[in-house]
Structure 1
Amino acid sequence: MAIIIPGSFHRSTALRVISVLFVLAVVVPDAGGRHQHHRHDCLPFTCGRLSNVSSPFRRRGDPSGCGFTSYELTCTDDKATIQIYEGTYSVTGINYSDSTFWVVDANISDSPNTLPQRIVPPYPTTTLNTGCHTIHIELEPASSRWSAFVNCSQEINNNEKYRPVACLNNTSRSFVYVLIGSIYSCYIDNLEPSCGHLAITPLHGNDTRVLEENPSCEDVVKIMRGGFAVRFPYTIDAAYSFKECRAETFR
Protein backbone atom coordinates (compact mmCIF):
# COMPACT_ATOMS: atom_id res chain seq x y z
CA MET A 1 0.00 0.00 0.00
CA ALA A 2 1.26 3.46 -0.81
CA ILE A 3 2.37 5.72 1.99
CA ILE A 4 0.40 8.89 1.29
CA ILE A 5 0.87 12.19 3.07
CA PRO A 6 -2.69 13.27 3.92
CA GLY A 7 -4.28 16.57 3.17
CA SER A 8 -3.63 19.32 0.68
CA PHE A 9 -2.14 22.78 1.07
CA HIS A 10 -4.49 25.43 2.46
CA ARG A 11 -5.44 28.52 0.44
CA SER A 12 -3.94 30.86 3.07
CA THR A 13 -0.64 28.98 2.83
CA ALA A 14 -0.64 29.30 -0.95
CA LEU A 15 -1.30 33.04 -0.73
CA ARG A 16 1.56 33.45 1.72
CA VAL A 17 3.87 31.52 -0.58
CA ILE A 18 2.82 33.65 -3.57
CA SER A 19 3.78 36.82 -1.68
CA VAL A 20 7.12 35.44 -0.53
CA LEU A 21 8.05 33.99 -3.89
CA PHE A 22 7.16 37.23 -5.69
CA VAL A 23 9.64 39.10 -3.52
CA LEU A 24 12.31 36.42 -3.91
CA ALA A 25 11.86 36.36 -7.68
CA VAL A 26 12.81 40.03 -7.78
CA VAL A 27 15.57 40.19 -5.21
CA VAL A 28 17.34 36.82 -5.16
CA PRO A 29 19.01 37.08 -8.59
CA ASP A 30 20.75 40.24 -7.44
CA ALA A 31 23.90 38.98 -5.73
CA GLY A 32 24.94 42.53 -4.92
CA GLY A 33 22.39 42.73 -2.13
CA ARG A 34 22.93 39.21 -0.80
CA HIS A 35 24.99 38.50 2.31
CA GLN A 36 25.91 35.10 3.73
CA HIS A 37 25.69 34.61 7.49
CA HIS A 38 28.46 32.91 9.44
CA ARG A 39 29.14 32.67 13.17
CA HIS A 40 32.55 31.52 14.31
CA ASP A 41 32.11 31.60 18.07
CA CYS A 42 32.61 27.85 18.56
CA LEU A 43 35.18 25.23 17.67
CA PRO A 44 34.52 22.86 14.73
CA PHE A 45 33.03 19.50 15.67
CA THR A 46 32.46 16.01 14.30
CA CYS A 47 28.92 14.84 13.61
CA GLY A 48 28.34 11.30 12.38
CA ARG A 49 30.69 10.84 9.44
CA LEU A 50 31.11 14.58 8.93
CA SER A 51 34.23 16.19 10.36
CA ASN A 52 35.29 19.79 10.87
CA VAL A 53 31.68 20.99 11.00
CA SER A 54 31.27 24.67 11.81
CA SER A 55 28.86 27.61 11.35
CA PRO A 56 26.07 27.82 10.38
CA PHE A 57 25.65 24.42 12.00
CA ARG A 58 25.36 23.71 15.71
CA ARG A 59 24.56 20.83 18.03
CA ARG A 60 21.86 20.65 20.63
CA GLY A 61 23.17 22.12 23.86
CA ASP A 62 25.75 24.39 22.20
CA PRO A 63 25.91 27.99 23.47
CA SER A 64 23.48 30.38 21.81
CA GLY A 65 26.27 32.08 19.86
CA CYS A 66 27.13 28.86 18.03
CA GLY A 67 25.56 28.57 14.61
CA PHE A 68 21.87 28.99 13.84
CA THR A 69 19.01 27.22 15.58
CA SER A 70 17.41 26.05 12.34
CA TYR A 71 20.75 24.47 11.31
CA GLU A 72 21.04 22.36 14.46
CA LEU A 73 22.30 18.83 13.80
CA THR A 74 21.51 15.63 15.64
CA CYS A 75 24.63 13.45 15.74
CA THR A 76 24.98 9.69 16.10
CA ASP A 77 27.97 7.41 15.51
CA ASP A 78 27.42 7.22 11.76
CA LYS A 79 24.85 9.86 10.84
CA ALA A 80 24.09 13.58 11.00
CA THR A 81 20.45 14.63 10.65
CA ILE A 82 18.63 17.94 10.46
CA GLN A 83 15.00 19.01 10.70
CA ILE A 84 13.74 20.91 7.66
CA TYR A 85 10.23 22.10 8.40
CA GLU A 86 8.54 18.92 9.69
CA GLY A 87 10.82 16.40 7.99
CA THR A 88 14.03 14.68 9.09
CA TYR A 89 16.92 14.63 6.59
CA SER A 90 20.35 13.02 6.65
CA VAL A 91 23.18 15.47 5.98
CA THR A 92 25.60 13.69 3.65
CA GLY A 93 27.95 16.53 2.76
CA ILE A 94 28.77 20.17 3.43
CA ASN A 95 30.30 22.53 0.87
CA TYR A 96 31.65 25.65 2.53
CA SER A 97 32.91 26.97 -0.82
CA ASP A 98 29.45 27.52 -2.26
CA SER A 99 27.61 27.73 1.09
CA THR A 100 25.38 24.69 0.60
CA PHE A 101 24.92 21.27 2.16
CA TRP A 102 23.44 18.05 0.79
CA VAL A 103 20.50 16.27 2.39
CA VAL A 104 18.65 13.01 1.77
CA ASP A 105 15.18 12.16 3.03
CA ALA A 106 15.88 10.00 6.09
CA ASN A 107 12.56 8.16 5.77
CA ILE A 108 12.69 7.19 2.09
CA SER A 109 13.02 3.42 1.83
CA ASP A 110 13.88 1.14 -1.07
CA SER A 111 10.20 0.32 -1.43
CA PRO A 112 8.75 1.52 -4.75
CA ASN A 113 5.61 2.83 -3.04
CA THR A 114 6.91 5.52 -0.71
CA LEU A 115 6.64 9.26 -1.16
CA PRO A 116 9.17 11.89 -0.11
CA GLN A 117 8.36 14.01 2.88
CA ARG A 118 6.44 17.14 2.07
CA ILE A 119 8.76 20.09 1.50
CA VAL A 120 7.42 23.60 1.87
CA PRO A 121 9.12 26.57 0.16
CA PRO A 122 11.03 28.88 2.51
CA TYR A 123 9.23 31.52 4.53
CA PRO A 124 11.82 34.29 5.02
CA THR A 125 11.56 36.44 8.13
CA THR A 126 11.47 40.15 7.39
CA THR A 127 13.04 42.89 9.50
CA LEU A 128 13.58 46.63 9.12
CA ASN A 129 17.13 47.96 9.36
CA THR A 130 17.75 51.74 9.39
CA GLY A 131 15.35 52.34 6.53
CA CYS A 132 16.60 49.34 4.56
CA HIS A 133 14.24 46.42 4.07
CA THR A 134 16.17 43.21 4.82
CA ILE A 135 14.93 39.71 4.11
CA HIS A 136 16.55 36.89 6.09
CA ILE A 137 16.32 33.43 4.53
CA GLU A 138 17.14 30.05 6.07
CA LEU A 139 16.95 26.44 4.83
CA GLU A 140 16.26 27.40 1.23
CA PRO A 141 16.64 24.50 -1.24
CA ALA A 142 19.19 25.37 -3.93
CA SER A 143 16.95 24.12 -6.73
CA SER A 144 15.26 25.74 -9.69
CA ARG A 145 13.20 22.66 -10.61
CA TRP A 146 10.75 20.85 -8.35
CA SER A 147 8.54 17.79 -8.41
CA ALA A 148 5.01 17.84 -7.03
CA PHE A 149 3.15 14.63 -6.24
CA VAL A 150 -0.62 14.95 -6.43
CA ASN A 151 -3.44 12.58 -5.58
CA CYS A 152 -6.53 12.67 -7.81
CA SER A 153 -9.91 11.06 -7.30
CA GLN A 154 -10.35 10.88 -11.07
CA GLU A 155 -7.95 9.69 -13.73
CA ILE A 156 -6.32 12.54 -15.69
CA ASN A 157 -6.20 11.79 -19.41
CA ASN A 158 -6.12 15.20 -21.06
CA ASN A 159 -3.18 16.93 -19.39
CA GLU A 160 0.35 15.95 -20.41
CA LYS A 161 1.80 17.68 -17.31
CA TYR A 162 0.39 14.85 -15.18
CA ARG A 163 2.74 11.86 -15.35
CA PRO A 164 1.27 8.77 -13.65
CA VAL A 165 3.10 7.01 -10.82
CA ALA A 166 0.99 3.87 -10.71
CA CYS A 167 2.69 2.14 -7.77
CA LEU A 168 1.58 4.96 -5.46
CA ASN A 169 -2.11 4.46 -6.19
CA ASN A 170 -3.55 3.13 -2.94
CA THR A 171 -7.06 2.38 -4.23
CA SER A 172 -8.74 1.81 -7.57
CA ARG A 173 -10.22 5.29 -7.21
CA SER A 174 -7.03 7.09 -6.31
CA PHE A 175 -4.53 8.20 -8.95
CA VAL A 176 -1.11 9.64 -8.12
CA TYR A 177 0.78 11.82 -10.59
CA VAL A 178 4.03 13.76 -10.57
CA LEU A 179 4.33 17.27 -12.02
CA ILE A 180 7.66 18.86 -12.93
CA GLY A 181 8.49 22.55 -13.09
CA SER A 182 9.50 25.65 -11.21
CA ILE A 183 8.31 26.13 -7.66
CA TYR A 184 5.65 28.46 -9.07
CA SER A 185 4.19 25.90 -11.46
CA CYS A 186 4.42 23.03 -8.97
CA TYR A 187 3.08 24.83 -5.94
CA ILE A 188 0.86 27.66 -7.14
CA ASP A 189 -0.60 26.67 -10.50
CA ASN A 190 -4.23 25.56 -10.41
CA LEU A 191 -4.56 21.81 -10.05
CA GLU A 192 -7.13 19.71 -11.81
CA PRO A 193 -10.39 19.92 -9.78
CA SER A 194 -10.15 16.33 -8.54
CA CYS A 195 -6.53 16.64 -7.33
CA GLY A 196 -4.68 17.73 -4.19
CA HIS A 197 -1.00 18.01 -3.26
CA LEU A 198 0.67 15.10 -1.47
CA ALA A 199 4.30 16.18 -1.46
CA ILE A 200 6.62 18.62 -3.16
CA THR A 201 10.38 18.27 -3.25
CA PRO A 202 13.38 19.85 -5.03
CA LEU A 203 15.13 18.18 -7.96
CA HIS A 204 18.74 18.22 -9.09
CA GLY A 205 20.87 17.32 -12.09
CA ASN A 206 19.20 15.01 -14.59
CA ASP A 207 16.20 14.38 -12.35
CA THR A 208 13.99 16.62 -14.47
CA ARG A 209 14.77 14.76 -17.70
CA VAL A 210 14.11 11.36 -16.10
CA LEU A 211 10.80 12.39 -14.57
CA GLU A 212 9.64 14.01 -17.80
CA GLU A 213 9.91 10.68 -19.63
CA ASN A 214 7.07 8.76 -17.93
CA PRO A 215 9.18 7.52 -15.02
CA SER A 216 8.91 4.08 -13.49
CA CYS A 217 8.40 3.79 -9.74
CA GLU A 218 12.01 2.68 -9.45
CA ASP A 219 13.07 5.92 -11.18
CA VAL A 220 11.05 7.99 -8.72
CA VAL A 221 12.49 6.25 -5.65
CA LYS A 222 16.05 6.51 -7.00
CA ILE A 223 15.66 10.24 -7.55
CA MET A 224 14.09 10.84 -4.14
CA ARG A 225 16.95 8.91 -2.49
CA GLY A 226 19.46 11.12 -4.30
CA GLY A 227 18.66 14.16 -2.18
CA PHE A 228 19.15 17.84 -2.89
CA ALA A 229 21.23 20.87 -1.86
CA VAL A 230 20.18 23.43 0.75
CA ARG A 231 21.67 26.90 1.14
CA PHE A 232 23.30 28.40 4.21
CA PRO A 233 21.36 31.30 5.79
CA TYR A 234 21.66 34.67 4.08
CA THR A 235 20.04 38.08 3.92
CA ILE A 236 19.00 40.22 0.97
CA ASP A 237 19.09 43.99 0.91
CA ALA A 238 15.70 44.27 -0.78
CA ALA A 239 15.82 48.04 -1.12
CA TYR A 240 19.09 47.80 -3.06
CA SER A 241 17.83 44.92 -5.15
CA PHE A 242 14.56 46.54 -6.14
CA LYS A 243 16.45 49.66 -7.21
CA GLU A 244 18.77 47.64 -9.42
CA CYS A 245 15.88 45.61 -10.82
CA ARG A 246 13.98 48.77 -11.76
CA ALA A 247 17.08 50.20 -13.45
CA GLU A 248 17.44 47.01 -15.50
CA THR A 249 13.76 47.03 -16.45
CA PHE A 250 13.78 50.55 -17.88
CA ARG A 251 17.26 50.50 -19.38
Structure 2
Amino acid sequence: MRESTILFPVLIFLASIFLAQARNLNEVDCSSSCGDIHNIKYPFRLRGDPSGCGDPDYEFSCVNNKTILEIFPGKYYVKNISYTDNLLRLVDVNLANGSCSLPSGSLQNVDGFVQDVRYKGHVNYTTESRIRFIKCSRNVTLENQKAYNYTEVSCLRRNGTFIYAVVDGMYSNYNIQPSCSLVSVTPVDYHDDVYKSPSYEAIVKVLQAGFDLGWSVECRDCSLAGKNCGIGAKAWDTRPIIFQCEKDYKELTESEARLIVVGICLAAVIGLVLIVVVLVFVIRKYKKRKQLEKNMQNQQSSALSNSNSRTS
Protein backbone atom coordinates (compact mmCIF):
# COMPACT_ATOMS: atom_id res chain seq x y z
CA MET A 1 0.00 0.00 0.00
CA ARG A 2 2.77 2.39 0.92
CA GLU A 3 4.70 1.58 -2.28
CA SER A 4 1.63 2.29 -4.45
CA THR A 5 1.11 5.61 -2.65
CA ILE A 6 4.66 6.64 -3.52
CA LEU A 7 4.53 5.24 -7.06
CA PHE A 8 1.34 7.04 -8.13
CA PRO A 9 2.74 10.62 -7.98
CA VAL A 10 5.85 9.42 -9.82
CA LEU A 11 3.71 7.99 -12.64
CA ILE A 12 1.73 11.25 -12.85
CA PHE A 13 4.98 13.23 -13.07
CA LEU A 14 6.37 10.99 -15.81
CA ALA A 15 3.09 11.19 -17.73
CA SER A 16 3.13 14.99 -17.61
CA ILE A 17 6.70 15.00 -18.96
CA PHE A 18 5.68 12.63 -21.76
CA LEU A 19 2.69 14.78 -22.74
CA ALA A 20 4.80 17.92 -22.72
CA GLN A 21 7.39 16.26 -24.95
CA ALA A 22 4.65 14.99 -27.27
CA ARG A 23 3.27 18.51 -27.60
CA ASN A 24 6.71 19.88 -28.35
CA LEU A 25 7.22 17.23 -31.04
CA ASN A 26 3.87 18.12 -32.60
CA GLU A 27 4.80 21.79 -32.59
CA VAL A 28 8.17 21.17 -34.22
CA ASP A 29 7.45 18.33 -36.63
CA CYS A 30 3.86 19.03 -37.66
CA SER A 31 3.23 22.28 -39.47
CA SER A 32 0.73 22.77 -42.28
CA SER A 33 -0.35 25.61 -44.54
CA CYS A 34 -3.45 26.57 -46.48
CA GLY A 35 -3.59 29.66 -48.65
CA ASP A 36 -2.37 32.66 -46.64
CA ILE A 37 -2.15 30.71 -43.38
CA HIS A 38 1.33 29.18 -43.16
CA ASN A 39 1.67 28.48 -39.43
CA ILE A 40 -0.90 25.78 -38.70
CA LYS A 41 0.65 23.86 -35.80
CA TYR A 42 -0.26 22.47 -32.39
CA PRO A 43 -2.95 22.50 -31.16
CA PHE A 44 -4.35 23.04 -34.66
CA ARG A 45 -4.22 20.67 -37.61
CA LEU A 46 -5.58 20.44 -41.12
CA ARG A 47 -8.02 17.76 -42.09
CA GLY A 48 -5.95 15.03 -43.72
CA ASP A 49 -2.80 15.65 -41.63
CA PRO A 50 -1.13 12.60 -40.06
CA SER A 51 -2.94 11.37 -36.95
CA GLY A 52 -0.09 12.39 -34.65
CA CYS A 53 -0.27 16.04 -35.68
CA GLY A 54 -2.21 18.54 -33.62
CA ASP A 55 -5.34 17.97 -31.57
CA PRO A 56 -8.42 16.50 -33.31
CA ASP A 57 -10.62 19.00 -31.45
CA TYR A 58 -8.83 21.87 -33.20
CA GLU A 59 -9.07 20.79 -36.83
CA PHE A 60 -9.37 23.12 -39.81
CA SER A 61 -10.38 22.31 -43.36
CA CYS A 62 -8.77 23.77 -46.46
CA VAL A 63 -11.26 24.66 -49.21
CA ASN A 64 -10.20 26.58 -52.32
CA ASN A 65 -6.98 27.62 -50.56
CA LYS A 66 -8.92 29.09 -47.64
CA THR A 67 -8.60 27.85 -44.07
CA ILE A 68 -12.01 27.20 -42.54
CA LEU A 69 -13.01 26.57 -38.94
CA GLU A 70 -16.36 24.94 -38.29
CA ILE A 71 -18.12 25.69 -35.00
CA PHE A 72 -21.57 24.18 -35.20
CA PRO A 73 -23.51 25.38 -37.00
CA GLY A 74 -21.31 28.12 -38.49
CA LYS A 75 -18.29 28.27 -40.77
CA TYR A 76 -15.52 30.86 -40.50
CA TYR A 77 -12.50 31.82 -42.56
CA VAL A 78 -9.32 31.84 -40.48
CA LYS A 79 -7.53 35.09 -41.28
CA ASN A 80 -4.75 34.86 -38.70
CA ILE A 81 -3.44 32.66 -35.88
CA SER A 82 -1.65 34.26 -32.94
CA TYR A 83 0.09 31.66 -30.79
CA THR A 84 1.37 34.43 -28.53
CA ASP A 85 -2.10 35.66 -27.61
CA ASN A 86 -3.95 32.34 -28.19
CA LEU A 87 -6.26 34.10 -30.64
CA LEU A 88 -7.83 33.27 -33.99
CA ARG A 89 -8.96 36.02 -36.32
CA LEU A 90 -12.19 34.81 -37.93
CA VAL A 91 -14.69 36.04 -40.51
CA ASP A 92 -18.04 34.38 -41.17
CA VAL A 93 -17.98 32.77 -44.64
CA ASN A 94 -21.35 34.35 -45.49
CA LEU A 95 -20.21 37.84 -44.54
CA ALA A 96 -16.60 37.90 -45.77
CA ASN A 97 -17.39 39.35 -49.20
CA GLY A 98 -19.81 42.01 -48.02
CA SER A 99 -22.74 40.25 -49.66
CA CYS A 100 -26.28 40.61 -48.32
CA SER A 101 -26.63 37.54 -46.17
CA LEU A 102 -27.24 36.26 -42.66
CA PRO A 103 -24.35 34.69 -40.74
CA SER A 104 -23.76 31.00 -41.37
CA GLY A 105 -24.48 30.32 -37.72
CA SER A 106 -24.77 31.88 -34.30
CA LEU A 107 -21.38 31.71 -32.62
CA GLN A 108 -22.66 33.22 -29.37
CA ASN A 109 -25.78 32.65 -27.34
CA VAL A 110 -28.24 35.40 -26.40
CA ASP A 111 -25.97 36.47 -23.52
CA GLY A 112 -22.92 36.77 -25.76
CA PHE A 113 -21.05 33.63 -24.63
CA VAL A 114 -19.52 30.98 -26.86
CA GLN A 115 -20.95 27.63 -25.85
CA ASP A 116 -17.96 25.55 -26.89
CA VAL A 117 -15.46 24.15 -24.37
CA ARG A 118 -12.62 24.49 -26.90
CA TYR A 119 -12.94 28.25 -27.11
CA LYS A 120 -13.40 30.86 -24.40
CA GLY A 121 -15.12 33.40 -26.57
CA HIS A 122 -14.30 36.90 -27.68
CA VAL A 123 -11.19 37.60 -25.59
CA ASN A 124 -10.67 41.32 -26.31
CA TYR A 125 -13.04 42.30 -23.52
CA THR A 126 -12.10 45.98 -23.61
CA THR A 127 -13.17 46.27 -27.26
CA GLU A 128 -15.92 43.66 -27.39
CA SER A 129 -19.18 44.20 -29.19
CA ARG A 130 -21.67 42.04 -31.03
CA ILE A 131 -24.28 42.31 -33.72
CA ARG A 132 -27.59 40.56 -33.26
CA PHE A 133 -29.64 39.70 -36.32
CA ILE A 134 -33.34 40.05 -35.50
CA LYS A 135 -36.36 38.88 -37.50
CA CYS A 136 -39.58 40.88 -37.05
CA SER A 137 -43.05 40.55 -38.49
CA ARG A 138 -43.51 44.34 -38.55
CA ASN A 139 -41.41 47.42 -39.24
CA VAL A 140 -40.50 48.13 -35.59
CA THR A 141 -38.42 51.21 -36.37
CA LEU A 142 -41.57 53.06 -37.46
CA GLU A 143 -43.63 51.91 -34.46
CA ASN A 144 -41.24 51.96 -31.51
CA GLN A 145 -38.78 54.68 -30.53
CA LYS A 146 -36.91 52.17 -28.37
CA ALA A 147 -35.81 50.43 -31.56
CA TYR A 148 -33.55 53.35 -32.51
CA ASN A 149 -30.52 51.02 -32.85
CA TYR A 150 -32.36 48.55 -35.13
CA THR A 151 -30.76 48.87 -38.58
CA GLU A 152 -32.83 47.22 -41.29
CA VAL A 153 -31.13 44.84 -43.72
CA SER A 154 -33.50 45.82 -46.52
CA CYS A 155 -32.07 43.35 -49.03
CA LEU A 156 -33.31 40.50 -46.80
CA ARG A 157 -36.90 41.72 -46.50
CA ARG A 158 -39.28 38.99 -47.63
CA ASN A 159 -43.11 38.86 -47.64
CA GLY A 160 -43.61 41.25 -44.76
CA THR A 161 -40.68 39.85 -42.74
CA PHE A 162 -38.08 42.42 -41.68
CA ILE A 163 -34.48 41.60 -40.79
CA TYR A 164 -32.55 44.00 -38.52
CA ALA A 165 -28.94 44.22 -37.43
CA VAL A 166 -28.68 45.44 -33.85
CA VAL A 167 -25.31 46.72 -32.66
CA ASP A 168 -24.82 45.74 -29.03
CA GLY A 169 -21.87 46.94 -26.95
CA MET A 170 -20.37 44.94 -24.11
CA TYR A 171 -22.39 46.67 -21.40
CA SER A 172 -25.57 47.33 -23.35
CA ASN A 173 -28.93 46.14 -22.08
CA TYR A 174 -30.52 43.87 -24.64
CA ASN A 175 -34.31 44.00 -24.96
CA ILE A 176 -35.89 42.36 -27.96
CA GLN A 177 -38.87 44.19 -29.42
CA PRO A 178 -42.36 42.68 -29.59
CA SER A 179 -43.16 40.64 -32.71
CA CYS A 180 -39.42 39.95 -33.12
CA SER A 181 -37.17 36.92 -32.59
CA LEU A 182 -33.42 36.39 -32.48
CA VAL A 183 -31.82 34.80 -35.54
CA SER A 184 -28.11 34.85 -34.68
CA VAL A 185 -25.39 36.64 -32.73
CA THR A 186 -22.03 37.58 -34.25
CA PRO A 187 -19.12 39.10 -32.27
CA VAL A 188 -17.32 42.08 -33.77
CA ASP A 189 -14.71 44.61 -32.73
CA TYR A 190 -16.19 47.63 -31.00
CA HIS A 191 -16.41 50.80 -33.11
CA ASP A 192 -17.82 53.85 -31.38
CA ASP A 193 -19.13 55.49 -34.55
CA VAL A 194 -20.99 52.33 -35.60
CA TYR A 195 -22.45 51.92 -32.13
CA LYS A 196 -23.72 55.51 -31.85
CA SER A 197 -24.97 55.95 -35.40
CA PRO A 198 -25.30 52.56 -37.09
CA SER A 199 -25.81 52.25 -40.83
CA TYR A 200 -25.96 48.95 -42.67
CA GLU A 201 -22.97 49.92 -44.84
CA ALA A 202 -20.86 50.56 -41.72
CA ILE A 203 -22.08 47.32 -40.15
CA VAL A 204 -21.09 45.36 -43.26
CA LYS A 205 -17.52 46.71 -43.02
CA VAL A 206 -17.32 45.73 -39.36
CA LEU A 207 -18.58 42.23 -40.16
CA GLN A 208 -16.05 41.88 -42.99
CA ALA A 209 -13.22 42.79 -40.58
CA GLY A 210 -14.07 39.79 -38.41
CA PHE A 211 -13.37 39.19 -34.75
CA ASP A 212 -10.93 37.48 -32.39
CA LEU A 213 -11.70 34.15 -30.77
CA GLY A 214 -9.56 32.75 -27.98
CA TRP A 215 -8.69 29.12 -27.32
CA SER A 216 -7.28 27.21 -24.36
CA VAL A 217 -6.44 23.51 -24.46
CA GLU A 218 -6.04 23.48 -20.68
CA CYS A 219 -9.46 25.08 -20.25
CA ARG A 220 -10.96 22.54 -22.67
CA ASP A 221 -9.55 19.71 -20.55
CA CYS A 222 -10.83 21.39 -17.39
CA SER A 223 -14.35 21.76 -18.79
CA LEU A 224 -14.43 18.17 -20.01
CA ALA A 225 -13.52 17.09 -16.48
CA GLY A 226 -16.72 18.76 -15.28
CA LYS A 227 -15.01 21.72 -13.62
CA ASN A 228 -15.37 25.45 -14.08
CA CYS A 229 -12.69 27.30 -15.99
CA GLY A 230 -12.17 31.03 -15.82
CA ILE A 231 -9.63 33.80 -16.14
CA GLY A 232 -7.31 34.23 -13.17
CA ALA A 233 -7.67 37.34 -11.03
CA LYS A 234 -4.28 38.69 -12.11
CA ALA A 235 -4.25 37.23 -15.62
CA TRP A 236 -6.10 39.90 -17.61
CA ASP A 237 -2.93 41.66 -18.73
CA THR A 238 -0.92 38.54 -19.50
CA ARG A 239 -0.38 37.13 -22.98
CA PRO A 240 -1.59 34.57 -23.58
CA ILE A 241 -4.45 35.06 -21.15
CA ILE A 242 -4.15 32.53 -18.33
CA PHE A 243 -7.19 30.42 -17.62
CA GLN A 244 -7.51 28.63 -14.30
CA CYS A 245 -9.33 25.43 -13.45
CA GLU A 246 -11.24 25.32 -10.20
CA LYS A 247 -9.55 23.39 -7.42
CA ASP A 248 -10.83 20.03 -6.28
CA TYR A 249 -12.82 20.23 -3.08
CA LYS A 250 -14.01 16.91 -1.67
CA GLU A 251 -16.08 16.22 1.43
CA LEU A 252 -14.32 14.55 4.33
CA THR A 253 -15.19 10.95 5.09
CA GLU A 254 -16.24 10.00 8.62
CA SER A 255 -12.90 8.31 9.31
CA GLU A 256 -10.98 11.36 8.03
CA ALA A 257 -13.06 13.64 10.25
CA ARG A 258 -12.37 11.42 13.26
CA LEU A 259 -8.65 11.46 12.54
CA ILE A 260 -8.70 15.26 12.37
CA VAL A 261 -10.56 15.48 15.70
CA VAL A 262 -8.14 13.00 17.32
CA GLY A 263 -5.20 14.98 15.93
CA ILE A 264 -6.57 18.26 17.31
CA CYS A 265 -7.20 16.69 20.74
CA LEU A 266 -3.75 15.11 20.79
CA ALA A 267 -2.14 18.42 19.85
CA ALA A 268 -4.12 20.14 22.62
CA VAL A 269 -2.99 17.55 25.20
CA ILE A 270 0.64 17.82 24.10
CA GLY A 271 0.40 21.60 24.26
CA LEU A 272 -1.09 21.46 27.75
CA VAL A 273 1.65 19.08 28.94
CA LEU A 274 4.31 21.39 27.54
CA ILE A 275 2.76 24.37 29.35
CA VAL A 276 2.72 22.42 32.65
CA VAL A 277 6.35 21.33 32.17
CA VAL A 278 7.43 24.90 31.48
CA LEU A 279 5.54 26.20 34.52
CA VAL A 280 7.06 23.52 36.78
CA PHE A 281 10.53 24.36 35.44
CA VAL A 282 10.01 28.10 36.02
CA ILE A 283 8.60 27.58 39.53
CA ARG A 284 11.44 25.25 40.52
CA LYS A 285 14.01 27.68 39.15
CA TYR A 286 12.33 30.51 41.06
CA LYS A 287 12.30 28.53 44.32
CA LYS A 288 15.92 27.51 43.85
CA ARG A 289 16.97 31.12 43.33
CA LYS A 290 15.03 32.21 46.41
CA GLN A 291 16.68 29.44 48.44
CA LEU A 292 20.12 30.55 47.28
CA GLU A 293 19.35 34.16 48.21
CA LYS A 294 18.14 33.02 51.66
CA ASN A 295 21.26 30.94 52.23
CA MET A 296 23.46 33.87 51.26
CA GLN A 297 21.59 36.13 53.67
CA ASN A 298 22.00 33.57 56.46
CA GLN A 299 25.71 33.27 55.75
CA GLN A 300 26.09 37.04 55.80
CA SER A 301 24.17 37.26 59.09
CA SER A 302 26.28 34.51 60.63
CA ALA A 303 29.50 36.17 59.52
CA LEU A 304 28.36 39.51 60.97
CA SER A 305 27.51 37.89 64.28
CA ASN A 306 30.89 36.22 64.55
CA SER A 307 32.61 39.52 63.76
CA ASN A 308 30.70 41.33 66.50
CA SER A 309 31.45 38.63 69.08
CA ARG A 310 35.20 38.86 68.37
CA THR A 311 35.16 42.62 68.69
CA SER A 312 33.44 42.52 72.06
The Cα shift of 1:182 comes to 5.3
Q: Which has the higher contact order (CA 8 A, sep 6+)?
A: 1
Residue 153 (structure 1) aligned with residue 137 (structure 2): yes
Q: Aligned partners of 1:155 and 1:76: how far apart in 2?
A: 39
Moved more, 225-234 or 58-67: 58-67
1:209 maps to a residue whose letter is: D
* Paired position in structure 2 for 1:171: 158
* SS of the residue 2:43 aligns to: coil
Q: Aligned partners of 2:171 and 2:245: how far apart in 1?
A: 20
Residue 54 (structure 1) aligned with residue 41 (structure 2): yes
* Paired position in structure 2 for 1:34: none
Residue 203 (structure 1) aligned with residue 188 (structure 2): yes
Aligned-residue Cα RMSD (Å) equals 3.1
**Unaligned 5+ runs, structure 2:** 1-21, 109-113, 220-228, 230-243, 248-312
**Unaligned 5+ runs, structure 1:** 1-37, 125-135, 241-251
Q: Deviations over 1:92-124 (max 9, x none)?
A: 111111010111112226465322223233225
Q: Relative to total residues, which structure has the larger strand share, 1 or 2?
A: 1
**8 A contact 2:167–2:198 mirrored in 1:** no
* Paired position in structure 2 for 1:212: 196
* Paired position in structure 2 for 1:29: none
Aligned identity (percent) is 27
For the pair shown, which has the larger CA radius of gyration, 1 or 2?
2
Residue 194 (structure 1) aligned with residue 179 (structure 2): yes
Q: Aligned partners of 1:114 and 1:108: how far apart in 2?
A: 7
* Paired position in structure 2 for 1:123: 115
* Paired position in structure 1 for 2:73: 86
Q: CA 1:39/1:182 → structure 2, altered by over 3 Å: closer, same or farther?
A: farther
Q: Deviations over 1:37-72 (max 9, x none)?
A: x94443222222211321121122335553233321
* 1:229 aligns with one of 188, 198, 212: 212
Q: CA 1:200/1:161 → structure 2, altered by over 3 Å: closer, same or farther?
A: farther
* SS of the residue 1:203 aligns to: strand
* Paired position in structure 1 for 2:111: none
Q: Relative to total residues, which structure has the larger helix share, 1 or 2?
A: 2
2:48 maps to a residue whose letter is: G
Q: TM-score, normalised by structure 2?
A: 0.52
* Paired position in structure 2 for 1:20: none
Q: Aligned partners of 2:205 and 2:184: how far apart in 1?
A: 16
